Structure formats: structure tokens, C-alpha cells
Amino acid sequence: MILDGFSATAIASAAQVIRAGGLLGLPTETVYGLAADAENDAAVAQIFIAKGRPANHPLIVHVVDAGSVAHFAASVPDFAKALIDAFWPGPLTLILPRRDGVAGAAAGGQNSIGLRCPSHPVAQALLQACLQAPLSSTLSPQKVWGIAAPSANQFGRVSPTTARHVQGEFGADLLILDGGPCAVGIESTIIDCTRGVPVLLRPGAVSREQVQVACGLKVLLKDELVSLDAPAPRASGTLESHYAPNAKVRLMDAPALQTALNLLSHEIDGASTGPTIAVYSRACLSTYSSQVLLKRMPADATTAAQQLFAVLRELDAQGVDLIWIETPPDTPEWDGVRDRLQRASAA
């Protein structure tokens, strides 16, 4: 069931669902999440089951503001405080040392916890409502300090950026708050703050450069972790193959794409009536074949990110077997989109 997330009664019902240990679809500015009370281990277990996600892959816990960090984190290094000041609420997740005994299931058993304060007004309204004392005495009198919410998609698949996408993943029974299409469109930037220096685990709308400027420290990449002689944390959003549509994705530069299109015969698959190959490129390309669907990628990285997952889903829905995508430029603003596409093509 999809409810208007901007209605106060929908927020009240959603808060009841969370307090009662249920799941729901929640809009954030990045992607939609599959949400539950972060400290209710049984509810969190349902998230892992619904997604088909291994139970040792930690979930991000969403908090209403910086004031809730101390409930989950044992300590916050100064550079992480600077990042909270600079980017919260917004698309930045910080991995911090976890307070003993708090949200162990959500953290996938790790001694760290991923915290993010979303800016989406519907997510903010739900977090506020959950933090307040419940109206009904039959429900848990505990405050809900945080909402665990991984992206609301089956494990390994494309993240949802609309309420309808979430419904497509989990069916009509799930309560989903509709907050409109997500403004950012790709998942939050993740910075590991447990290693003394900031480490980028997943690129997103907040760039590595912005993080460096805000905290005054060089941000290491995962591959540079060897020098810290510690194993990289488990992070499914950082698996090589992820974000995969059903069609097979291949990345090529524009000249290679045009060459490949020129080599195709007019009719690729005599049995098929619709398009069998989709091409998603910033460059203007041409084809002779009626079985090739050409689609233009926005020229700026922010708009491309906003539309990326919806386009992959739309091309899947058209039933193409292959999606050929122009490799995004090797510049910092394209880091997030390039990362997601590389992982989609690794599947």
C-alpha cells in the first residue's frame, strides 16, 4: 500500500508500524530504504530476509540529527564531527565505533555502526515521530532512536528511486511512504571513520574532494587500506558486482559504441519484435537497426545520477537483453555514477 508521505496521518501510521516491529518503504533524498526500528533485532532480521541479504552485511542506521549519534556510537573522532557539521542532514554515511550492546543485528555483528541523517522531509518526519513517546500504551514505551534502512531492493539489484519501484520489489502488502522521485538518485557517500583517517568506502553525491575540504584530511580509498594493515569492512554496496539490472550491462566509450552499432545487421534477432539492445550514451549516436533503442544520458553528473537507476529499470522493463552504456568521464563529479555502472556491468 502506497501512502502520501507528506500527510501527517500517514506518518503517524508509519511510526506505529515501526514501533510494532514492522517494515516499511521510506523515501530518502538518495534512494528509497526498507525501514525498521534499528534496535529491534527481530524487525531487523525481517529486513535481511525480505532483501535476501546475508545477515552479516551491516545496514545503515538513520538518525534525526547529530544529537542521536551518541546513542549508537562509542566515540566520534574530530574529523567525523567536522563532516557531520558540513554535510548533515544529507547524503553522507559515517562508519563509527559502535556502542556496546546497541543495534548489534543492524550492524551485522560488526563493532562499528553506519550512521546517516537524511534530509528528505518525509524521512525526517518519520524519525521525529518515532523519537517521540508513543501514544498507545500497548506499544513499546521505548523511544526509537534510529531507523535501519538498506536500499529497498532485492540483494544485488538496482536501488529504487520511486515508491512504485519499491512496490515492484516487495509487493502490494508493504506499506510505502511516497516522497516523490529521489533528488540524488544514487546511494550516500560512505566514509569509514574508525581507522584514524577518513576512508572512502562508497562514492556518492558528496565527493571525496568535498570531504577532504570539510575535514582538512586526505581521504584514503579502500585500495589504500593495505597500508593500514586492517581488513576492509564488509559492505555489500561495495561488492564488485551489484546494482545489476536483468539485462547484461556493458560499458564502452562513444567511438567503440558507434563502431559496435555500425557492425550490427539491420535485424539482430528475427524472433524478437521489440528492441533487444539499448544504448545509453551522452554522445549522439546512430543506428540502422529497429531493434536498437537509443537513449541519451544527461550531460551533467548530478542529473545523470538522479535518473540512473530509473533508466536501468525502464530499459529492463522494455525487455532488452543488452544495455550498452557510454563510460562516464574519469572526473570526480562522475565518481558515483561511474562506480555504480562499473558494478552493474560486473554482474
Binding site for ligand TXA (CB under 6 A): 28, 30-31, 33, 57-60, 93, 95, 107, 110, 112-114, 116, 149-151, 187-188, 190, 233-238
- What distance in Å separates the CA atoms of residue 276 and residue 315, rounded to the nearest whole number? 10
125 binds, among ligand TXA, Mg ion, none (CB under 5 to 8 A by kind): none
Q: How far is the CB of 292 from ligand TXA (least distance, A)?
A: 32
Bridge partner residues of 91 (DSSP): none
Q: Please state, as a whole number, how many other Cβ atoms lie within 10 Å of the Cβ of residue 54.
A: 11
* Residue with smaller CB distance to ligand TXA, 201 or 249: 201
Chain positions 92 to 131 lying near Mg ion, rule: CB under 5 A, are: none
Give, as ranges, the residues between 232 and 251 that touch Mg ion (CB under 5 A): 237
What is the separation of C-alpha 298 from the centre of its chain, rounded to a whole number of angstroms? 20
Query: Which set of grid coordinates corresponds to residue 38?
Result: 534499528
Q: Which is nearer to ligand TXA, 189 or 291 (CB)?
A: 189
- Taking the least distance from each CB to Mg ion, the nearer of 151 and 291 is 151
Give me the 132-151 binding string for Mg ion, x by CB under 5 A, dash otherwise: -------------------x
Closest approach of Cβ 286 to ligand TXA, in Å?
A: 37
Q: How far is the CB of 13 from Mg ion (least distance, A)?
A: 26
Nearest C-alpha neighbor of 287 from the set 310, 262, 269, 268? 262
286: three-class secondary structure by DSSP? coil
User: Based on CB atoms, which residue is closest to Mg ion, 152 or 293?
Assistant: 152
Which residues, numbered 182-241, are part of the site for Mg ion (CB under 5 A)?
237
# residues contacting Mg ion (CB under 5 A): 2
Question: What one-character DSSP code corresponds to residue 157?
Answer: B
User: Which of Mg ion, ligand TXA, none is residue 60 near (CB under 5 to 8 Å by kind)?
Assistant: ligand TXA
Using CB atoms within 10 Å of the CB of residue 164, give its burial: 0 to 12 exposed, 13 to 18 middle, 19+ buried: middle
User: What is the closest distance, in whole angstroms, from the C-beta atom of residue 23 to Mg ion in the complex?
Assistant: 15
Q: Which does 57 bind (CB under 5 to 8 A by kind): ligand TXA, Mg ion, none?
A: ligand TXA
Mask: binding to Mg ion, 150-179, rule CB under 5 A, as x and -? -x----------------------------
Structure-derived torsion over alpha carbons of residues 294, 157, 169, 43, reported in degrees to the nearest 10: -160
> Which of residues 94 and 279 has its CB atom nearest to ligand TXA in the complex?
94
Describe the strand order of the beta sheet including 92-97 as a list of residue ranges.
Answer: 2-4, 175-178, 24-26, 33-37, 147-148, 60-62, 112-116, 92-97, 189-192, 199-202, 220-221
**Which ranges of 156-253 would DSSP assign to H, the alpha helix?**
163-170, 208-215
| Dist. CA 61–CA 94, nearest whole Å | 10
Residues contributing to the site for Mg ion (CB under 5 A): 151, 237
